[in-house]
Amino acid sequence: MADRLRADAKANQDLVLAAARRAFARDGGADASLREIAKEAGVGIGTLYRRFPTREDLVWAVYSGEVDRICEEAETSAPHPRAWMETFLDFLAAKRAMADALKVVLAGDEERRLAVRARITGALGSLLDTAAAEGAIRDDVAALDVLMALGGISLIAGEPDQRAQAGRLLDLLMDGLRPCR
């Protein structure tokens, strides 16, 4: 990329990211104040917004590493869809901000969102394919649909105290994926 950042810009970006990471760690990040994050980073609110135009951009910058790790897990570990889905839901429950970001990513059609989507559906798809090859689940359901189902579960029952409910919804989803008949 020829678009290298100016030194001061890069430094500020890092300060903001660090502050955001700290703020998000405090409470899942769903409602951390961006002004507060900017202040904590010692940067003007305008600077934060120029670098991360939307809350989702910031959330994504903070958590993309973890998402990658989860995706790799889906591609490399044994094909236990249910277990992986639980991990995924737990992740979204812990980082509530990500659940909202996911919703946007799943709806939008800008290059950026599509890439993220491709990353996740790719991993999930590979997991589903493997499981299907073993006859554990159906083979005719698109990974994107499953991902959206997971996103839906986390949106409607993603609070930490709704684990049981989320589990039941996941049961229902798994039932829908069963290769009966």
Partner DNA sequence: TTGCTAAACGGAGCATGCTCCGTTTATGGT
Partner DNA sequence: ACCATAAACGGAGCATGCTCCGTTTAGCAA
The residue within the footprint of its own copies, chosen from 21, 39, 103, 119 (CB under 8 A), is: 103
User: Rounded to whole angstroms, how far apart are CA atoms 51 and 172?
Assistant: 41
CB of 89 to DNA, least distance (A): 25
Residue with tokens 């277990």: 83
141 part of the interface to its own copies, by CB under 8 A: yes
152 part of the interface to its own copies, by CB under 8 A: yes
124 part of the interface to its own copies, by CB under 8 A: no
Stretch that binds its own copies, among 53-61, 72-80, 123-131, 170-178 (CB under 8 A): 170-178
CB of 134 to DNA, least distance (A): 44
Closest by alpha carbon to 124, among 100, 89, 164?
89
Residue type, 137: I
Alpha helices (H) along the chain: 7-27, 34-41, 45-51, 55-76, 81-94, 96-107, 111-133, 143-157, 163-177
User: Which spans of this chain sit near DNA (rule: CB under 7 A)?
Assistant: 5-9, 11-12, 31-36, 43-47, 49-51, 53-55
Following DSSP, what letter does each residue of 62-79 receive, concatenated? HHHHHHHHHHHHHHHS--
DSSP structural state of residue 52? S
DSSP structural state of residue 6? P
CB of 145 to DNA, least distance (A): 28
- Comparing CB distances to its own copies, the nearer of 54 and 76 is 54
36 part of the interface to its own copies, by CB under 8 A: no
Binding interface with its own copies (CB under 8 A) = 103, 106-107, 141-142, 145-146, 148-149, 151-153, 155-157, 159, 162, 165, 168-169, 172-178, 180-181
